[in-house]
Structure 1
Amino acid sequence: MADVNDVNIIVKWSGKEFPIGDITEQDTVALLKHEIFKKTQVRPERQKLLNLKYKGKFAPDDVRLGLLELKPNFKIMMVGSTEADIEDACCKPEGLDEVVDDFDDPEEVAVENASVYLAKVQKRVRDYTITELNPLREGKKLLVLDIDYTLFDHRSSAETGAELMRPYLHEFLSSAYEDYDIVMWSATGMKWIEEKMKLLGVSSNPGYKIAFYLDSSAMISIYTNDRGVIDVKPLGVIWGKYSQFTPQNTIMFDDIRRNFLMNPKSGLRIKPFRQAHLNRSKDNELLKLSKYLKDIAEHCDDFTKLNHRKWESYNPKK
């Protein structure tokens, strides 16, 4: 893998200075703005980077930072305002429940300059701290699970978490635990994950144990021509920290396909669980997936040979 040089940038905004990390010469201005948003909550479309110039003009979003010849600890002067409601700005808009901005075929989406994203993964492996909740077990495969709309309808209102929990959740996790170490990975903060796992009774269930949680800080940002900057969940972070887990024995469930863009062969897009009050009496997705997990654990030595899009028709006898 070719060397990828980091770029050290400081953003001056609203009387404060914000060091921007996780940026390289191969990243674009668009990705820089995405990182600035994480620190300042000023959305990219509202950012005006006054002294970031390219050929005498404001640097366009698709220009690589390496072309700007920035000096170390270059200070950018930014003008821009945050949204009136920070919470709404950071969350998925309410109106997107039925239409998800996702890739139809992530295998066919070219991830440009893959070396820069692999370098980001290695940085996560080096810098991200995993707190193990329970010991990993020898010989087990790995199941990585999203939370929102995968295990839990987090948008509907209810008096108890059980009302919004996907049907058969505890039965599913108990069955999976026989063959897999289980990891929860959510694109939210660690505090939120811990609270939801308590609310759902996952963290205290005697039938299974969760190995550890991963939050949004373990994700990386990538740039695509069609979708701009997106955050993804690279399984390489886990594989880099735990040599016993590989693409051959790992599977990941998520309701948004783009989350496993860096490792599409390991991802299974689960049907989203929404409108819990209407659908909980007829949703049996986890029940069916329990059988699939059991079948491939017992009959498949290399998960990369599977097509998870056809999981419902998997026949272990063939």
Structure 2
Amino acid sequence: EDVLEIVLLWHGKKYEVEIKETATYRDLQLLAYSETSVRPEHQKLFLRHKGKSCNDDLKISELGLRNKQKLKLMGTSEDEIEALELQHRTAQSEAGMVLDDFDWDINPGNYTLWSRSDAEKSLIKMAKKIEINIMNPPRQGKPLLVLDLDHTLLHFSRHMVNTDQHDQMLRPYMHNFLERVYRHYDIVIWSQTKWTWVEIKLTELGMLSNPKYAICFALDTSVMFKVVGFRNGNPKRHKVKALGLIWAKCHHWSRQNTIHIDDLARNFAMNPECGLKCTAFRRDKNPEQDTELLRIAAYLELLAVKHGDFTQVDHNQWQEYLAKHESK
């Protein structure tokens, strides 16, 4: 199949993409979306196509495009829209309202990843550029446990920093959970926030100084990977925690010995078989009744002891698995 190299011109930047001539106009729009975050319905691509209108199913070969042709794109990106919304939400947060990030999520039944092969190629390129700063070396033979921070292990508030209210931010049994799982796993923290806040949370909440467990390394939002997926048939460009970035740097870990726990299933989009979605922790929602970490710890202990290949277990059914083994 012939492949065309197209140069998209948007906001003064050039985006070089490749597309097969057998692909469709819709595919071209999604490709532009994956590069710029301008949603297809907000795009204006300046084509010199004459004749029938550019419907979604029109083949690229029918558009009269040349190899290395430049196409001007107009449209407002989701990132620009989200920046404006964030300003508004931040103002609300500073007024005392909680700023949450779980207003958009997925489940296996309503989501599909677009062009996984292209995403994996881009991921390989990204992996070559990033560096991982090891705090505590991996231990031989230990599988990998990747943990989210906010709403998984804690509910952070910058207003509680430098106060005696640190414990109120922690999910119940958090330190106990980390102590238990550390016996079986090397622990990596991956937060969807900037490094400054990751560092504050880890240090101020005592996660780097506890003598009973150690964090191998921590990652922040800068190494999250952008993909395009369809939720209920609608495209959405969003960030994910692509475990392949870790596996590319630490070859002793793979999908067979890695599990990722997060309150947002969208972060599993590149590696759904490795994800376990927990309930989101909110310190204002009866925290004294929250025993989720104790139950997940029990599941992780069983997983590490009974299974050399984690892909043999469906983590979506972790509670049923735990109940079955606890009843024996």
Identify the TM-score tier after normalising by the shorter chain. Answer: 0.7 to 0.9
Matched, 1:252 2:247: no
In structure 2, how many angstroms separate the alpha carbons of the residues matched to 1:73 and 1:203? Answer: 52
Q: Which amino acid aligns with 1:298?
A: V
1:118 to 120, 125, 143: 120
Q: Which amino acid aligns with 2:267?
A: N
Aligned pairs for 1:211-290 (under 5 A) are 211-225=216-230, 226-228=233-235, 229-274=237-282, 276-290=283-297
Unmatched segments (≥5 aa) in structure 1: 38-43
Aligned-residue RMSD, C-alpha: 4.1
Residue aligning to 2:104: 101
In structure 1, how many angstroms separate the alpha carbons of the residues matched to 2:138 and 2:273? Answer: 23
Q: Which amino acid aligns with 2:239?
A: D
In structure 1, how many angstroms separate the alpha carbons of the residues matched to 2:59 and 2:90? Answer: 26
With the length of structure 1 as denominator, give the TM-score of the two structures. Answer: 0.77
Q: Which amino acid aligns with 1:233?
A: K
Residue aligning to 1:208: 213
| CA displacement at 1:96 relative to structure 2 | 8.8
Matched, 1:299 2:302: no
1:143 to 139, 142, 145: 145
In structure 2, how many angstroms separate the alpha carbons of the residues matched to 1:245 and 1:91? Answer: 42
| CA displacement at 1:269 relative to structure 2 | 0.3
Deviations 1:191-231 (A, max 9, x none): 22112212222122222111112222322222234242222
Aligned pairs for 1:68-217 (under 5 A) are 69=65, 76=72, 84=84, 87-88=87-88, 100-105=103-108, 109-154=111-156, 158=160, 159=163, 160-217=165-222
| CA displacement at 1:257 relative to structure 2 | 1.0
The 1:202/1:307 distance shift into structure 2, 3 A limit, reads same
In structure 2, how many angstroms separate the alpha carbons of the residues matched to 1:312 and 1:262? Answer: 23
> In percent, how many aligned pairs have the same letter?
32
The structure with the largest alpha-carbon Rg is 2
Q: How many residue pairs end up in the alignment?
A: 304
Residue aligning to 1:40: none
Local SS of the residue matching 1:110: strand
| CA displacement at 1:8 relative to structure 2 | 6.0
In structure 1, how many angstroms separate the alpha carbons of the residues matched to 2:225 and 2:57? Answer: 18
Contact 2:190 2:220 in 1 (8 A): yes
Local SS of the residue matching 1:224: strand
Contact 2:241 2:267 in 1 (8 A): yes
Q: Which amino acid aligns with 2:280?
A: P
| CA displacement at 1:303 relative to structure 2 | 0.7
| CA displacement at 1:147 relative to structure 2 | 1.3
Q: Which amino acid aligns with 2:274?
A: S
In structure 2, how many angstroms separate the alpha carbons of the residues matched to 1:238 and 1:307? Answer: 22
Local SS of the residue matching 1:271: coil
Local SS of the residue matching 1:245: coil
In structure 2, how many angstroms separate the alpha carbons of the residues matched to 1:150 and 1:257? Answer: 12
Local SS of the residue matching 1:268: strand
In structure 1, how many angstroms separate the alpha carbons of the residues matched to 2:89 and 2:57? Answer: 24
The 1:312/1:254 distance shift into structure 2, 3 A limit, reads same
Worse-superposed segment, 109-118 or 242-251? 109-118
In structure 2, how many angstroms separate the alpha carbons of the residues matched to 1:239 and 1:3? Answer: 33
Residue aligning to 2:24: none
| CA displacement at 1:287 relative to structure 2 | 1.2
In structure 2, how many angstroms separate the alpha carbons of the residues matched to 1:92 and 1:249? Answer: 42
| CA displacement at 1:313 relative to structure 2 | 2.9
Local SS of the residue matching 1:182: strand
Q: Which amino acid aligns with 1:190?
A: W
With the length of structure 2 as denominator, give the TM-score of the two structures. Answer: 0.74
Unmatched segments (≥5 aa) in structure 2: 21-26
